[in-house]
Structure formats: structure tokens, C-alpha cells
Amino acid sequence: MKLDKVHLVFFSPTRTSRKIGEAIVRGTGLKCIEMSDLTGKPAIGQEFGADTLVVVACPVYGGHIPPLALSRMEGLHASGTPAVAVVVYGNRAYEHALQELDSLLAAKGFRVIAAGTFIGEHSYSTERHPIAAGRPDAKDLEEAALLGRRVMEKLRKAGGADMAGRVDVSRIRKPRQPFFHLLRFIYKVTRMRKSGQPMPSTPAVDADLCTHCGHCAAVCPNEAIAKGDECHTRADRCIRCCACVKGCPQKARSFDTPFAGLLSENFRYRKANEVIL
């Protein structure tokens, strides 16, 4: 069957996964582009056939796909549809995330013919504690676009969407990680946990700065902030994605986790994006 459409599916509170996904889609050169933004709402009974290439991009939380993203993808269904699985992480590690995304897509009937692990600015990154700040940058986006081009080449060489082989995502090249920094990070995190230092469960709000513009409530992926009551955050719904922090035009919201300093200090070394196809 002729493949003439590309559909980008993403969950992306701080928009880095979205940017990578969009660059991959651009790289395919396909003119018919559709998008499903699952950041704020779930997919409902969405069916894909073999005439569409589906690119799925989402972030890594604690080495996993965020449970909210997985639940948002429950309503996706495919019948042998070729897919590109992409995880975006904040320069620390992605651990189980790519495997989890691959398994979910396979269970939904997709054939994962390519995959990528890309770097995005860490949700906890601030001016004081930069962590992969500004990524994806121009180089990252060029590499993402190249993945899109290479996927189309693979499909052409295979002689059709249904002929392109699945990839074994466990064989993707792992990023280089300076050993000493990793050890120091593990040591400091263990010490911090043992000390019983309290961790913030939601971003803090400076009520003097808040103008009640409602932007944070609009970008929150899990309805943790109610419009009109923006200085209050529901801890039971907050996934600590920092979309509200990064999006607040008054800088009224902050998420001061002690992890930010440790991540900034120990994961300075620029990790490379990796792809497999």
C-alpha cells in the first residue's frame, strides 16, 4: 500500500518532545501531516492503517514513560502501521523508557521500524541550575530531520510500508556517560534521601507576582490548577512537569527541587542523540 501521510502523536508538557517530533515529520518530506497532541487529553478510538507513518514522541520521567502519557495513548490502534518511537530526556538517562514505548506501540498493532533517543532541556532546568538548557538546538533538530529522511529511504528500499522490518530498540547505541559524575550523582542522591530533606510536591507560587492570567491552568496537562484559583495547585494531580513554571509570563511559579543542582552539576557533558533503523 502507498504511504502518503505522516501523523505525529505526542505528549509534551514543556514542548521539547513536540519539537523533536515535528522535525522528524519535516524530514520525511511528506505533505499530508496530521497531529494528535495528547498532552492535555487522551486519544479516543484512533485507528491507523498502513497508508500512514506514525511518529510517537514523549518525554522520560524517572527513566520511564510518564504513566499519564501511557494512559493517554491507550486509545491508539493500528494494523501493521509503521511507526517511529522517540523518547526525549533531560541529558541524564532514559533507562526503560524506549523499551516501554516500543512495547506499548507493538501491543497497539504498530510496527516500530525506527526509533530515537533525543535530548531536551530538562524540565527542572533554571538559569541558576542549567540542565541541557536550550536543547533541542539547531543541531538536534537537524539530526531529528535526518531521522525522518532516513525512515523514508528505509520504506522506499523495502518496497512498501508493509515490507519495512521492525527494529530491536534494545540495540540502539547507549549515550556516553562519564563514570565519575554518575557515581557522584548516585552518592549525593542517596545522601539527600537519607537526610529526609523535604521534596516539593508542587511548584510554589508567588501570589504577589501572579496576575491571574490563567496561562498555567491552560497548559497544565492534568488539571492540577483551576482557572481563577491559580495560586493553589492540587498535589494529587500534579505530575511536576514544570509546564506551568516555564510558561508563567510573570515568573510567579517555581519548582525548587534539590535535584536541579545535582543534575546540573553532574550531567553537564553533552549527550548525543541516537537513532536505530
Ligand X SMILES: Cc1cc2nc3c(=O)[nH]c(=O)nc-3n(C[C@H](O)[C@H](O)[C@H](O)COP(=O)(O)O)c2cc1C
Using the rule CB under 6 A, is 93 a contact of ligand SF4?
no
Interface of this chain with ligand X, residues 154 to 193, rule: CB under 6 A: none
Nearer to ligand X, 17 or 126 (CB): 17
Of the candidate spans 91-99, 114-122, 124-132, 211-219, the one that interacts with ligand SF4 by CB under 6 A turns out to be: 211-219
Using the rule CB under 6 A, is 28 a contact of ligand X?
no
Q: Which does 148 bind (CB under 5 to 8 A by kind): ligand SF4, ligand X, none?
A: none
What is the nearest approach in angstroms of ligand X to the Cβ of residue 123? 4
CA pair distance 28, 54, nearest whole angstrom: 11
User: Please, which residues bridge with residue 57 across strands?
Assistant: 10, 86
Nearer to ligand X, 158 or 182 (CB): 182
Using the rule CB under 6 A, is 38 a contact of ligand SF4?
no
Of the candidate spans 130-138, 149-157, 204-212, 264-272, the one that interacts with ligand SF4 by CB under 6 A turns out to be: 204-212
DSSP state of 169: G
CA pair distance 130, 264, nearest whole angstrom: 6
Using the rule CB under 6 A, is 241 a contact of ligand X?
yes
Using the rule CB under 6 A, is 203 a contact of ligand SF4?
yes
CA angle 234, 94, 118 (to 5 degrees): 100
Binding mask 229-268 for ligand SF4 (x = CB under 6 A): -x--x----xxxxxxx---x-x-xx---------------
What is the nearest approach in angstroms of ligand SF4 to the Cβ of residue 218? 8
Using the rule CB under 6 A, is 246 a contact of ligand X?
no
User: If binding means CB under 6 A, how many residues of this protein chain bind ligand X?
Assistant: 24
Annotate 230-241 with b (16+ C-beta within 10 A) or e (fewer): beebeeeebbbb
Q: In the structure grid, which three cell numbers stand for residue 210, read together?
A: 501572579
CA pair distance 100, 122, nearest whole angstrom: 20
- Contact yes or no for 66/73 (Cβ under 8 A): no
Using the rule CB under 6 A, is 214 a contact of ligand SF4?
yes
Helix H or strand E segment including 245: helix 243-247
Using the rule CB under 6 A, is 66 a contact of ligand SF4?
no
CA angle 68, 69, 73 (to 5 degrees): 115
* DSSP conformation letters of 49-95: -TTEEEEEEEE-BTTB--HHHHHHTTTEEESSEEEEEEEEE-SS--T
Using the rule CB under 6 A, is 52 a contact of ligand X?
no
How distant is the alpha carbon of residue 24 from its chain centre? 14
Using the rule CB under 6 A, is 255 a contact of ligand X?
no
- Residues near ligand SF4 (CB under 6 A) are 13, 202-203, 205, 210-216, 219-222, 224-225, 230, 233, 238-244, 248, 250, 252-253
Q: Which residues bind ligand X (CB under 6 A)?
A: 12-17, 59-63, 88-93, 120-123, 240-242
